[in-house]
Amino acid sequence: MWTWWAGTTTPATTSSSACPWRSPPRCWRGAWRTWASSWGPSCRTPGPPCAGAPTTCSRPPRRPRARSTSRWATRRRTTGAGSARLVRAAVLAFELADRHRGSYSAGALSSAVCPFYCSYSGYEDELLWAAAWLHRASGNATFMAYVRANGAQDGAGDDDYSFSWDDKRIGTKVLLARAVLRRDRGRNLPGLQPYKAHSDSYICSLVPGASGFQAGQYTPGGLLYREGSSNMQYVTATTFLLLAYAKYLRSAGATAACGGGRGEVAPAELVALAKRQVDYILGKNPAGTSYMVGFGDRYPRRLHHRGASMPSVRAHPARIGCDQGFAYLHSAAPDANVLVGAVVGGPDARDGFVDDRDSYGQTEPATYINAPLVGVLAYFAGTTKY
């Protein structure tokens, strides 16, 4: 599934584009050989969801030139205006979503995103997540008032199981706990203390030996284990959350309150737990393999990834049909293109791993696996003495 969402400053419109692939896939071709359907959703009329039907078919956009990208990135004088523009666009998107409540996967987009990218947790967690971030970005008290008014009905009091692209609840609670710990720079924050308590409870459930620790959620080798398919997404996202909360606690000189027995967990313990997860990903595990492609001597070489498994247009300029492409999917040959830096779905609950393209739950890489890990690695790179 290849998809992206484009923000717009038009109040009544958002847009998206996707290649609606399935499992088993109907076609196995690299993205550069594949056409994508684009959607022009319009929410000019009330009622969820804000999702339209495919309107055109176009090739994926060309990747921007690196030179142009770096030029814009280094123009610091435009940062202020650019940031303000992004916040304004985010506010418009939030207002649109709040006015037209509903899940994006419940409408015309369902056939393209389900079952793999359905919104199983609902849409309410995204509204709270957005409001919390908009408050932090803008300082506008309106968004904090929104959190207070809508928190209960939008899942703020629900139990937390995981942090992922689909379920943002615990991420929102940790972000709001930061405001409590900082006392929002002296301002009164009535009603937010439960977010700190919920954050503590979730964090304590992850730390072995702490009161509230939930046994059975780690593999024998020590990897956090949530789901059988692409489990590494939960590992990287949770590890990011551990480090963020450790930073918030340390800045406030606080600890995570775990209740009876061993009632406190210090920030250093959260950092140590996060470090163990990173070490496991990079090769310190029973299988002795790195789950980051290209890192170390042993790593996955048969990714469930069209671009990695198939020859480039330069190497194979002739057209490769949908059915012809399956020969590459089922081949035992190593990838034609090494997807350096990609992190795959990872091992099973017993630390077992099969390097096979057909085992997509273990060998498929994803942006939502890598994205949290970037922040985690940046943290350790910045705090490690070489």
Q: Which residues are catalytic?
A: 304, 355, 364
For the chain, the C-alpha Rg in angstroms (whole number) is 22
Helix, strand, or coil (residue 153)? coil
Q: What is the DSSP letter of 3?
A: E
**Cβ-based neighbours of 207, under 8 Å, separated by 6 or more:** 213, 256, 258, 265, 269, 270, 273
Name which of 107, 111, 95, 89 is nearest 41 in CA terms: 107
As a whole number of angstroms, the distance between CA 188 and CA 190 comes to 6
Structure tokens at 270: 């959260």
As a whole number of angstroms, the distance between CA 256 and CA 209 comes to 13
**Are the beta carbons of 291 and 343 closer than 8 angstroms?**
yes
Helix, strand, or coil (residue 37)? strand
* Residue 2, H or E segment: strand 2-6
